[in-house]
Amino acid sequence: MQNKRDVRNVKAISIVTHCYNEEGNAYSMYLSIKNIFKELPQYNYEHIFIDNCSTDKTAKILKEIAQEDKNVKVIVNVRNFGPARSGCHALFQASGDAIIALACDFQDPPDLIPQFIQKWEEGYKIVYGQKLTSEENRLMFFVRTIYYKLIKFFASVDQLEHVTGFGLYDKSVIEMFRWIDDPNPYLRATIAELGYEVCLIQYVQQKRQAGKSSYNLFRYIDTAINGMINSSRAPLRIATFTGFVMSFLSMIIAFIYLIMKLLYWNSFTLGIAPIIIGMFFLGSIQIAFIGIIGEYIGAILERVIRRPLIVEKERLNFDKDNLESEMVSKHEERVEEYK
């Protein structure tokens, strides 16, 4: 009985790894985490892999690992729901006292895990890895830097630069995220909004160990827009301010044209070029700002529809009773909310 009590009192750490077409990295990541926790025997751990409907052998490799090692838990999605939604769902499935989010491509070094845990033991609820430099393309790193500075400039609360979400979250923080129930989560902005004290550990981002990133230009743009919408209302205010300024300027120009025409009726010709240029200019401004408003309306629509973060195809090594209890609890919460 004494041994059982001791085991129950041991703190547990959950490692959450999002995967999409990572057949070259999945097994190496598993071994890396396993070796790290061999050096941390004072902690229990679980390693949750969530596969976002990979088109290669990633899911097969993960299932084979889960069959051999019960510390490894696997979730396979029915389709690709995107890294933000998929990764957040995996965080909610973790049972540890602290949860560490870690990508599968080895760009974020697993070797920082002991430092994360140490800072957590010192009392920090959130410990983030912050990129000091990167071995990726210099142009891409420069573009990221500009983006982070823009977010920081426009946001209503201070934002962290070169923080991707790689780090440790106390279970109380994850429970807060669960309560917020954001259908399109952007954790970095939420952390800043909630005001948690964050410990930063700087590191040099490495190149991918194997494979090729699935991110393309459109996904980067989508992530950037999502970040701006979740962290700031400045685009809406810019649209409003620009509308007032353009209206004022249009009135001034119209008044000048009227005076010039009255003073020089026979010699002053309005011409069609200024009219066409003005129409296209004002039209483009209107379309751009309608698009901005549409992005915010789309975010509202996602909250109203209340779709699940992801839909699972299968899961391995999870306690079925705990899963059913969680689903019932979630259903009861929504029933109470709609009463």
pLDDT tens digit string along 212-228? 666 666 666 777 677 67
Average pLDDT over residues 86-104: 91
Burial class for 224, CB neighbours closer than 10 Å (0-12, 13-18, 19+): middle
Given this model, what pLDDT does residue 1 score?
Answer: 37
Architecture of the CATH domain 11-216+308-338: Alpha-Beta Complex (3.90)
Given this model, what pLDDT does residue 112 score?
Answer: 93
Burial class for 223, CB neighbours closer than 10 Å (0-12, 13-18, 19+): middle
Lowest mean pLDDT among 46-50, 133-137, 209-213: 209-213
Given this model, what pLDDT does residue 289 score?
Answer: 81
Distance CA 46, CA 9 (A): 16
Long-range contacts of residues 256-265, Cβ cutoff 8 Å, at least 24 apart: none
pTM of the full predicted structure?
0.73
Given this model, what pLDDT does residue 217 score?
Answer: 65
273: pLDDT confidence band, cut at 50, 70 and 90? low
HEC letters along the chain: CHHHHHHHHCCEEEEEEEECCCCCCHHHHHHHHHHHHHCCCCCEEEEEEEECCCCCCHHHHHHHHHHHCCCEEEEEECCCCCHHHHHHHHHHHCCCCEEEECCCCCCCCHHHHHHHHHHHHCCCCEEEEEEEEECCCHHHHHHHHHHHHHHHHHCCCCCCCCEEEEEEEEHHHHHHHHHHCCCCCCHHHHHHHHCCCEEEEEEEECCCCCCCCCCCHHHHHHHHHHHHHHHCCHHHHHHHHHHHHHHHHHHHHHHHHHHHHHHCCCCCCCCCHHHHHHHHHHHHHHHHHHHHHHHHHHHHHHHHHCCCCCCEEEEECCCHHHHHHHHHHHHHHHHHHHC
Residue 131 to residues 105, 142, 161, 213, 233: CA-CA distances in angstroms?
A: 15, 12, 8, 18, 27
pLDDT (tens digit per residue) in 184-204: 777 777 777 777 888 899 888
Residue 61 tokens read as 């490799």
CA 239 to chain centre: 26
Among residues 160, 232, 227, which one has the least CA distance to residue 198? 160
Among residues 5, 6, 60, 69, which one has the least CA distance to residue 37? 69
| Domain segments of the chain as ranges | 11-216+308-338, 234-305
Distance CA 117, CA 97 (A): 11
How many CB atoms within 10 Å of residue 80? 17
Average pLDDT over residues 239-247: 76
Given this model, what pLDDT does residue 115 score?
Answer: 94
Average pLDDT over residues 91-101: 92
